[in-house]
Amino acid sequence: MDTRRLGRSEIKVSAICLGTMTWGEQNSEADAHAQLDYALDHGVTFIDTAEMYPVPPQAATAYRTESYIGNWLAARRNRDRVVIATKVSGRSSEMSWIRGGPKLDRANIAAALDASLKRLRTDYIDLYQLHWPDRKTNYFGRLGYRHDAKDQSVPIEETLVVLDHAVKAGKVRQIGLSNETPWGTMRFLAAAETRELPRMVSIQNPYNLLNRSFEVGLAEIAHRESIGLLAYSPLGFGALSGKYLGGARPAGARMTVYSRFSRYTGARADQAVAAYVALARDSGLDPAQMALAFVTSRPFVTATIIGATTMAQLASNISSARLTLAKDVLARIEDIHDVHTIPCP
């Protein structure tokens, strides 16, 4: 497994990161531990989670995922072999069960961090990420920005000062962004430089063959500022495997079980997926592995975050790290992208 440097830090992470958002909802704790064992045995040393996981978020299951990981770490006694990333929730009026409605202020971040450390059964987190911005902006499927002059959010500098305290206390090694915009990313970097505060080392945003919006404004920042992408939803909720084509809804699949996951559905999505799946099969490739290999091969990507509900899916996804796409396949991917440009932001 290829390893890559996390920003300008000394931390090295595997090119494939194990995502965990189904654990506690679609997957049991035994499933989670089996996935962790398999992933580590196959070179995956990077694990990503969040305080609000599993997804869909709800009071009854919130925080389970971190607890599953913490129990695994305690049982295996292998904390030094893995890089653990988790996230603090941004402002939300819809998740009142998280501290009465989370925000990225001092009280919320301090409480969230201590709770995550306790659940993960560790005294430090390698990468602590802001799950989404505190301000109103365009993320989670919204491509265009609409300004709200009345929006009152926690200032970026205030959030960064709190994270600085966490780093100095030894509770956090590095910090990162998630679901962030070009403006927000540069504001965090500028504040870190001018006020001598911790520098963001990564940004976790969606990136896949159906959504290459990261390339428009953030890819240049990733390169020039050494803030690599941790690409989530690299299969577009599994759509790029082709399993939903023709209106199919396989039993137990995410978009079968949860109607809320509609981001990678619709006529435009289906047309693009059909083209990519045809290309993969034409080239003797597994469609899901081709989609994953494309993401992992991008020069601004630090790690591709995979998720799986079955061990067969996990094995296939991890194996994609060994796949190098031929030049003609990459060229044909660009041809399809020219026709189906960001059908699913």
Catalytic residue ranges: 53
SS (H, E, C) 119-169: HHCCCCEEEEEECCCCCCCCCCCCCCCCCCCCCCCCCHHHHHHHHHHHHHC
> Which residues is 129 bridged to in the sheet?
87, 176
Contact assessment for residue 64 and residue 54, using Cβ atoms and an 8 Å cutoff: yes
Contacts of 201 (CB under 8 A, 6+ apart): 6, 7, 8, 9, 11, 127, 174, 175, 176, 226, 227, 228
Tokens of residue 164, six digits: 């600085």
Pairing of strands 46-48, 301-306: unpaired
Rounded to a whole number of angstroms, the distance between the first and last alpha carbons of the chain is 30
**How far is 156 from 32, CA to CA, in rounded Å?**
35
- Counting Cα atoms < 13 Å in the Cβ hemisphere of 215 gives 13
